[in-house]
């Protein structure tokens, strides 16, 4: 018999061929410090043939947690099962738990408490990788509310987060079943931008992201054409939800650096000429629509230059830049005549025949010249002034302290 009051959180598990990883996954839900009566599980077996569905039903029959199991024909991806689970959820919050992964014991209790305390609609719990990599840049400190445009949370857009269900229902947010890859990033970015804030828990490992020994992990799905579809969807979403300006530019850095750049790295040199040209053709409309100076100036030179070559439709120049990077060469550091600008002279810098403007080579954010950190001159000057001011304050403090000690010694 079901409970009459809504649980705090619904754990939604979409499962396909998930054995034996599913065993630890479900054990981690049962081991939560959040009481069993304050949560529920909705598990969707997406046409498994390895005993996944049977194990879900067996677990549901013996757990103290309210649990519903749905068994359906294979849908071809994670979006369908997640949407089915979301449609059945009753919790104030939902968490999308992948059947390969598992929770830290205090994860749900900490995340629900954070969402309630901060009044935010999305809570990120620290993620660590098990037999695989995991995002790290956003776990610097625990924060009740972060600025999505300035923080690193846009670099973790997987679905494994706590979402307030009222937000999802109010805006009708669901996973796009038409996308074969990147659907979780689209869902999470929209929740970030349309919700009432984002919280980060960085001082406790809430989620263990497991790399399967058999290599059957969802992130491996999709050809490069599907990746371009995902990029286009993300760029269009940001443009639809964020007005033109610096905030939009800061968000647009994400699909260009985590997306477009991956298609035009040194690995491109090993691909066939037809594939190289096809990628340039797929990228062209996205570059025309979404690549702006505001976005470009927020990206380091070596990365920006690759994207600029794509934007100019110059595969020949891109190949030269990638060859230079693959050889691990260090470009010359060039200062403008007035000394107010720095440039990294990668291939075709000030090459009139190439037609790439100096702006494509200009240092506009902290960058690297070999092993040395470089900054744009104004920023470097500001940092130097701040360092000088700090040094002067320290010297004054030492002088005052010395005078105080001398005075006390003379009295003694």
Task: Provide CB contacts within 8 A for 253, sequence distance 6+.
Answer: 295, 298, 299
Burial of 401 (0-12, 13-18, 19+ CB in 10 A): exposed
How far is 85 from 210, CA to CA, in rounded Å?
Answer: 22
Q: Which strand (E) or helix (H) includes residue 389?
A: helix 377-411
DSSP E strands, 131-276: 143-146, 162-164, 198-210
How far is 361 from 336, CA to CA, in rounded Å?
Answer: 12
Considering the candidates 100, 121, 184, 249, report the single residue annotated as catalytic: 184
DSSP E strands, 268-338: 332-335
Distant-in-sequence contacts of 401-408, Cβ < 8 A, 24+ apart: none
Distances (CA, A) of 114 to 122, 123, 201, 218, 351: 10, 7, 8, 29, 55
Which one, of 11, 170, 18, lies nearest residue 86 by Cα? 11
184 carries an active-site annotation: yes
Cite the active site residues. 184
């Amino acid at each position: 018999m079901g409970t009459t009051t809504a649980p705090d959180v619904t754990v939604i598990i979409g499962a396909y061929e998930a054995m034996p990883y599913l065993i630890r996954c479900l054990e981690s839900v049962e081991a939560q410090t959040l009481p069993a009566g304050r949560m529920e599980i909705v598990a969707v077996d997406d046409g498994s043939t390895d005993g996944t569905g049977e194990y879900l039903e067996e677990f549901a029959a013996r757990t103290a947690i309210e649990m519903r199991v749905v068994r359906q024909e294979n849908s071809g991806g994670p979006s369908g099962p997640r949407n089915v689970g979301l449609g059945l959820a009753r919790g104030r919050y939902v968490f999308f738990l992948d059947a390969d992964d598992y929770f830290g014991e205090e994860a749900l209790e900490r995340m629900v408490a954070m969402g309630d305390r901060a009044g935010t609609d999305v809570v990120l719990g620290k993620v660590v990788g098990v037999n695989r990599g995991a995002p790290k840049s956003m776990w610097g400190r625990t924060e009740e509310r972060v600025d999505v445009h300035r923080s690193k949370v846009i670099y973790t857009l997987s679905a494994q987060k706590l979402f307030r269900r009222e937000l999802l229902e109010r805006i009708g947010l669901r996973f796009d079943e038409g996308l074969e890859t990147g659907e979780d990033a689209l869902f999470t970015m929209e929740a970030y931008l349309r919700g009432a804030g984002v919280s980060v828990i960085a001082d406790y490992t809430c989620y263990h992201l497991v790399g399967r020994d058999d290599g059957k992990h969802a992130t491996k799905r999709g050809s490069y054409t599907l990746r371009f579809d995902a990029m286009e969807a993300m760029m269009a979403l940001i443009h639809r939800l964020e007005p033109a300006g610096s905030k939009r530019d800061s968000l647009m850095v994400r699909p260009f650096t985590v997306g477009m750049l991956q298609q035009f790295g040194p690995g491109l040199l090993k691909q066939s000429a037809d594939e190289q040209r096809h990628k340039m053709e797929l990228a062209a409309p996205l570059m025309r629509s979404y690549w702006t100076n505001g976005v470009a100036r927020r990206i380091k030179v070596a990365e920006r230059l690759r994207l600029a070559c794509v934007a100019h439709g110059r595969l020949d120049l891109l190949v030269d830049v990638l060859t230079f990077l693959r050889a691990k060469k260090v470009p010359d550091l060039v200062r403008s005549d007035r000394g107010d600008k720095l440039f990294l002279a990668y291939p075709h810098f000030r090459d009139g025949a190439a037609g790439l403007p100096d702006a494509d080579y200009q240092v506009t954010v902290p960058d690297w010249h070999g092993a040395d950190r470089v900054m744009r001159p104004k920023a470097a000057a500001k940092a130097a002034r701040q360092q000088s001011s700090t040094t002067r304050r320290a010297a004054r403090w030492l002088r005052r302290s010395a005078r105080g000690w001398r005075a006390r010694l003379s009295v003694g």
